Structure 1
Amino acid sequence: MINKPGPSPIEAQTIKIFKHIRTNSYKSRARYMSSVLNFIRFCFMKHRLENIRNINDEHVVAYIIARQANHIAEKTISNDLSAIRFFMNHVSNPRYIISSNAELEEFYDLTIGNNPLNPGNRAWTDSEYDAFVQNCIKMGSNNPIDVSILCKTMGLRITEAVASSRVQAEYALRTGLYQVKQEAKNGRWRKIPLSAEAKEMFTRRLNDVPRGGHIFIKGNQKTHQAVNEYEQFLHRLSDRITTEEGILLRTYMKSSKNYINNITWHGLRYCYTQNRMQELIQTGFSYSAAQQIVSNELGHNRLSVVETYIGKNGAYLFKNIGDQ
């Protein structure tokens, strides 16, 4: 008699959690559990994941890509994602929050479903950014200000900004171009014009960074640990810097309901994209040419992703920009 291998530890954790879930109908829970167990088996086999609390966006993105490669229907994939989020809402003290479909599309250059999603404007207002800087100064926290410079004036992702190294800074000061490498998974290698603000910041800080070192990562600290510190810092500060104007700017409607985007580091990429598009158009570039330039600078290969940052036909920029 051949004994079948039992479930992996992470499958056992998943089944145990589902046994204690009472929300939704029995039929819905059974369907969700089936979807989640497929995902969990994938994570165990591909990533050797052993603790459900460690599930993060990278696991979800890898699963989406694998499902799409196997020609699984987009509706099925969307249902899988709903099941995964339902499950993670019942996991005690997860270390990470799974991003929305729209955020996954933006961060990882994916298409989920037939049409790109639009999660509304996420940009900060100038007064919110000024309040952020002033609060950092009062707290004696200069690093978050310098990280924000890279996000706001060059469009770097928070992971790319935090992972900035002495080598990259020296290259940028020497050539006027900042080289983004493999700092963020799914982030594309690209060169971005060095902003005046970033040039001043690199010049000021470079002497304090050892050869081969990083500007914002301490000693043996892992990049994701440093990024998490900056994420938590902004989260604690957000209530103090959010303005009514910002709330209005980041309010969007979906299915006849209003939703408000919170202040996030990613919102500074929105600021960069909107400012850069306006700058290029005002200096004579056509809308489509500016869109292509900005797409390359953001590290995307689809122009439709740029419209996530600037609104359909540039709605977040200035009126009727798409007609210019």
Structure 2
Amino acid sequence: MGSESALFQQLDKLHKHSNQGSLQTRYRYYEGAKRFAVFAATTYKLQKFANLKDKHLLAYVKSMQSKGLSASTIKTDLSAIRFFYDLTGNQRPLIDNKTLSASLEDGLERRSFGKVPRAWTSFEIDAAKIRAIALGETALASTISFAATFGLRIHETIRLDRDHLTRALRDDYLTIKGKGGLLREIPMTTKGRLLIQDTLVTASSGKLFVSDGQKAHQVIKHIENWIYTHRSHFTQGDRTLTYHGLRHTYAQERYAYHVERLHDEYTARLTVSRELGHGRDEVTRIYLAGMES
């Protein structure tokens, strides 16, 4: 039996007989331990999880760092490895994170994307919508929801009409024409579907946010002025909130989702970049500013 198969069989057995922690945590640890098993089998021909040594952990961390994985991802995988190592019954403790960090050139410190955080928090989004509705700005509150839920630019939001939303429910993605006429398909989430369904209940035909007699640029200016005037009432901290910051919120939520799904930060960033409609990794990093990677 090969090293990888041997380690997988051991992990399967330990996983099936473990009832420690939540189901979600055990599954996440199981997946993390399997990734380590592939590395250990390939690099060291390790065949018994109970024979794990500090050098194996150190080498694996260096490998993960070389791939650009975040400190949080690395630490979670280390927890997964220790979890299954403890289940083997081996009483010899493995190297801890503090000692590991001291053995690494860059340590295990947390890092952040970018330098200027623009994303709105969920509290700020809810507080802004509540204030808008209280002041009779129901449509404006809805534009905030669409920008944060689908990552829309302000001009993309106000172009939305009933047909856009109806097709989105049918296709399971929202089709948007962005800068330069570039079309992109934004995946439908549960939150997005509920938002569209709720909006269609009251939406009339035609544009959702530009009334008869209004010009698009007038609506855009009104939204921007409203946020400028009222943001002190819902901003947490000393950031300067703008409508475009809602797109940052979307980017960060989608990035976190794709990292968890793909276990690859670079691929996750490229996936987000396509959803945002720009396709460049360096731009996505700007949207992730202030987010612990």
TM tier, smaller: 0.5 to 0.7
- Corresponding residue of 1:200: 194
Corresponding position: 1:240 with 2:233: yes
Q: Distance in 2 between matches of 1:317 and 1:179?
A: 27
Which residues of structure 2 form unaligned runs of 5+? 1-113
Q: Distance in 1 between matches of 2:230 and 2:203?
A: 27
1:220 to 1:199, Cα distance in 2 relative to 1, 3 A: farther
Corresponding position: 1:296 with 2:292: no
Normalised by the size of structure 1, how large is the TM-score? 0.52
Q: Which secondary structure does the structure 1 equivalent of 2:180 belong to?
A: coil
Corresponding position: 1:170 with 2:204: no
Q: Distance in 1 between matches of 2:166 and 2:225?
A: 29
Corresponding position: 1:186 with 2:160: no
Is residue 187–residue 299 contact of structure 1 (8 Å, CA) maintained in 2? no
Backbone CA RMSD of aligned residues = 2.0
Q: Distance in 1 between matches of 2:124 and 2:194?
A: 22
Is residue 119–residue 246 contact of structure 2 (8 Å, CA) maintained in 1? yes
Report deviation, 1:196. 2.9
Report deviation, 1:277. 0.5
Q: Count matched residues.
A: 180
2:133 aligned partner, one-letter code? I
Report deviation, 1:209. 3.9
Is residue 188–residue 300 contact of structure 1 (8 Å, CA) maintained in 2? no
Is residue 149–residue 197 contact of structure 1 (8 Å, CA) maintained in 2? no
- Corresponding residue of 1:307: 285
- Corresponding residue of 1:129: 125
1:284 aligned partner, one-letter code? L
Q: 258, 262, 272: which one pairs with 1:284?
A: 262
1:11-45 Cα shifts (integer Å, max 9, x gaps): xxxxxxxxxxxxxxxxxxxxxxxxxxxxxxxxxxx
Q: 117, 128, 140: which one pairs with 2:136?
A: 140
Q: Which secondary structure does the structure 1 equivalent of 2:126 belong to?
A: helix
Which residues of structure 1 form unaligned runs of 5+? 1-117, 251-261
Percent identity, aligned pairs only, is: 29
1:176 aligned partner, one-letter code? D
How do 1:1-324 residues align onto structure 2 when only pairs under 5 Å count?
A: 120-182=116-178, 185-186=179-180, 188-206=182-200, 208-211=202-205, 213-244=206-237, 247=238, 250=239, 262-311=240-289, 316-318=290-292, 321=293
Q: Distance in 1 between matches of 2:144 and 2:117?
A: 18
**Higher RCO structure (Cα 8 Å, ≥6 apart):** 2
Q: Which has the larger radius of gyration?
A: 2
